[in-house]
Each structure stands twice: as C-alpha cells, then as structure tokens.
Amino acid sequence: MMLAFVSTGANAANENDDFDWSPVVDAIIHVESRGNANARNGQYVGVLQMSPTVVKAVNQILKQKGLKRRFSLADRYSVSKSREMFEIFMSYYNPNNSIEKAIRMWKGGTGYSIRATQKYFRKVMQHIDFD
C-alpha cells in the first residue's frame, strides 16, 4: 500500500515541494508522545521521540545542500524544530513522499523491515486525519 497526498502548504525542507506532512506528523506525535514535548525514553526525546542519529543525519543533509543551518540535540524538545527535522529527513530519504515509507522509517530506520514495523504502521494509520 503506497499512500500520498498533496496540499498547497510549503514544505520547510524544500520550498518547491507542496507536500504537507502535517497529518502524518500529527499521528506519529500522538503515538510517540501524546504531544508531550518533554517526553523521554532513553536516547529518544521530544514529541517525535527523535534520536541523536536523526539529528546528525539532518545536519549532514543540510551540509550536503550547502546550508549553514544546523540543529542541536536540544532542538528535539521543540515541536516546530522537530517537525522541520522530520521534513528534512523525509525530503532526503523519502523523496517520493510515501506515507507508508515515512511511518515505517520512523519506527525502523532507513533499512526498516515491513514485518517489524507492521504494528507501528497500523497504529499510526489509525490516528491520521486527512481532513
């Protein structure tokens, strides 16, 4: 199953991209932290339960694009900065904006297993509001 949707909102990761990750990010936030910006589970923190590895990957993407901007580990506690990092990460690792791939990658990394991410995928999909 490959899901995608388009809106007229601008994407922070790529100004030419009209893809709106909001419904997906909102659902992941609900599943990961119930919206608690101070949520912590080991190395995973913030509303998206972001790891240091994701921050590092996002900073490498920004560097590759020749941009000066960088994120810190503390930025994972910021809802808006976490959303930005998610979009930058997806613009690089999921350029076709596959919702399924985004959800599975968020749980299982870029080399995710469908079997290992199936329960998480279903859970997030139950919370996506496309309206």
Any idea what the CATH number is for the domain that residue 117 is in? 1.10.530.10
Give the global pTM: 0.85
Instruction: Identify the DSSP state of 11.
Output: P
Instruction: Tell me the C-alpha distance between 21 and 86, whole Å.
Output: 9
Dig out the tokens for 69 from the structure.
Answer: 């901007």
Domain assignment of residue 51, given as a range: 22-126
Please check whether residue 17 lies inside any domain of the structure: no
Which range, of 14-23, 31-40, 112-121, averages the lowest pLDDT? 14-23
Q: Name the DSSP letter for residue 125.
A: H
Q: How far apart are CA 27 and CA 85, in angstroms?
A: 16
11 domain-assigned: no
Q: What is the pLDDT of residue 6?
A: 34
Summarize pLDDT for 66-123 with one digit per residue, the tens: 999 999 999 999 999 999 999 999 999 999 999 999 999 999 999 999 999 999 999 9
The domain tally of the chain equals 1
Question: Are the beta carbons of 93 and 110 closer than 8 angstroms?
Answer: yes
Is 88 a member of any domain? yes
pLDDT score, position 5:
35
